[in-house]
Amino acid sequence: MKDLYGVLGDPIAHSISPEMHNDAFRDNKMNAHYHAFQVSSERLADAVKGMNALGVRGFNVTIPHKTAIMPYLDRIDPLAKVIGAVNTVKLEDGLFVGYNTDGRGFVNGLKESLSAPLSSLNCLIIGAGGAARAIYYTLVEQGIGSITVCNRTVEKAEKLTEDHPDAEERRVIRLDEAEKGLQQYDLVINTTSIGMKPDTEAMPIALDKLKASAFVSDIIYNPLETTFLKTARQKGAAIQNGLPMFIHQGAQAFEIWTGIKPDTSRMKRIVLEKLGG
């Protein structure tokens, strides 16, 4: 009998996670299957109970359930608690435990391309949603030099920084302030959904003041190069799309479930094939 894994989301038909994880199971000769489950918000509680009753070993959680699922889990890992969102659940002794692998996934992906140590960088995060929270807390945990958050809704950025237990220095600015002072940042990360298909021309902030030595990351991977990244590249900056984060958050989830580190270059190939990149 196969061990069952999956992902809960709404919509979910576009998800690339089943191909990526099923290939990793095959690669590791595991008798397991990963399935995408379309679950509406109204049925989320029933779905979690059903997953437990069926003995599902683990699952991912995606939009719009990452925060809503938390009350239905038996335990939440401390990092996921401070982030306020769960993207990975594991069955441990009959109990569902929630984790968040987005932040570590992002940082692991970033380290593949970044030559400078995190401690030497002034970082700007654009956005204050779930992904921004995961990335902010993980960058602080990993000793980033300094970190500023800008967001359309400034109060949400303030809440993000205030929620951090060790927040000493809270730097929150408006989007127009970020544009004006952009030359001071070495690492600029777009965590908003602006620029995602179908609205691919949109940019979260203007990049006129970006310095050529900056590293610019956009966590969107569809399209693989957003207008934001294209503009940054044209200004001489090094760029990274959302694919490394996606691969590494998946790899971390796979390791939490199975104890095995999957082959991330193989995962990348599968995802690129699926995205046609």
Element spanning 230, H or E: helix 227-234
Please say which residue, 192 or 264, places its beta carbon nearer to ligand NAP.
Answer: 192
Other CB atoms within 10 A of residue 28 CB: 14
Chain residues that interact with ligand NAP, rule: CB under 6 A: 102, 127-132, 151-153, 156, 191-194, 196, 219-221, 242, 245-246, 249
Minimum CB separation of residue 260 from ligand NAP in Å reads 20
| Residues listed for the chain | 277
Comparing every residue's Cβ against ligand NAP, the nearest one is 129
Please say which residue, 130 or 262, places its beta carbon nearer to ligand NAP.
Answer: 130
CB neighbour class for 157 (10 Å; exposed up to 12, middle 13-18, buried from 19): buried
Please say which residue, 30 or 238, places its beta carbon nearer to ligand NAP.
Answer: 238
Please say which residue, 14 or 49, places its beta carbon nearer to ligand NAP.
Answer: 14
Residues 6+ apart with CB under 8 A from 67: 84, 85, 86, 130
Minimum CB separation of residue 94 from ligand NAP in Å reads 29
Element spanning 146, H or E: strand 146-150
Q: Does residue 18 have a cis bond before it (omega within 30 degrees)?
A: no
Minimum CB separation of residue 154 from ligand NAP in Å reads 8
Q: Which residue matches tokens 């690492």?
A: 187
Residue tagged active-site, from 66, 81, 180, 230: 66
Assess whether 66 carries a catalytic annotation.
yes
Minimum CB separation of residue 208 from ligand NAP in Å reads 18
Catalytic sites, residue numbers: 66
